[in-house]
Structure 1
């Protein structure tokens, strides 16, 4: 054996020994460079404050737009109530549909971190476009004169709806990824770390609801009293803060590699279930793991353990 091969063998053995001693995570997570991560340097509450800050600011930004959008369409763009309500419902429906796209992109190609990064940038671009449409005179209709309220022109509508649907696209990449990205910071194979997921979710719900509360109260007051330009500008600034908070935590994050299309794996399960419907199940539960190896058969995924939950 050459000295290079001996060095590699010693390095691998040392790494496995360190994993056995609990120095490294056991759930397959890696650092930003794709290397195994030391538990003491990453994850847990070293990483979670950045995720919580992102969640709070992102919810404030979203509801800072959504909570008073019908009033903006009727009061500033001079739409009828029925038309305004229809446009808002269509937009909100799009916001709930686009996470399907974001989830597929994250699981199959980019991973959660880069999906959040890319789509939150699109999110911010939409916020800025919306702020411009509410601030620049050329992009908004003139004020009402008596009972005469000129409707917005097609270019004015175009700028507004481009900004609005960029936000819908942005939230589609953020929403399905930020929720699991937080739990990724806790090693499921370590009972002590796994037990800390509960408090994280409590704080995550609190931070999200705090952002929603501020948006639905303070920002609505700003819309009515300080103007829509400032009222939309504050959510845009909060989205910028959210992105800065998220990327600031990069050295402390643990990353799960993308594991391929979830739809493909669902189809594989259905096919396997059909072919093995009459297979006799062994009595020894230790034989019912996904694989007998230490890692999952699916690259980037955690090993599936036997559960009695659906028996």
Structure 2
């Protein structure tokens, strides 16, 4: 473990802060739970981009991984944070017990020293993972849709990101659904917005890009009167690829047909527009 990356001054400062919070959470009273974890905002940020539940679950997974697969120091650090005990002394005693079974430890001072060394490594790893996952940046995606049957649908996609985020433009797909089931038959269109010119503006903190995509509506959608209401003809997916913490908004100004409607869904880095029979 102990991954290395080309970290700048900002990352070094964040690593130092995360290390302090890991040390503090180890020393805090009480068994680790979401309420206790919420007292450490930088851990919440690097583990879940500010989302407490996601951060707490991710942190728990990482601690279990270190405890079972990490080296001696990483395992000692993870166990001293997550051991089922109310006080740091009892948690360190738990660490002693685990390593005594392995014939590797004699007292709490040794366990604390190993834990201190492991916390330094874990702090670097958590910040590195946050950078790779895009958790240190945020994105606001605004999707505006206009047009109709004759001219097709026009998607205006506004992507606002924090400037230091290595953002990638979304991938657009148009999916055709089977008429007699929920199964997706085939992928009809795929548009990589990284390869499409965009209007870009930026300042010291943010970068804004506007993408315009034209999608022609296939003729068979006109048969809406002959199918059950709610039938999905096509789905347009707008897929994020850097997994930053994302907020998505949607504005519908389209007028495709009286018998056709649009349904919008957003979940994490995926937004979908379904073309359905009313």
TM-score by length of structure 2 reads 0.27
Pick the structure with more strand per residue.
Answer: 2
Q: Relative contact order: is structure 1 or structure 2 higher (C-alpha 8 Å, sep ≥ 6)?
A: 1
TM-score by length of structure 1 reads 0.25
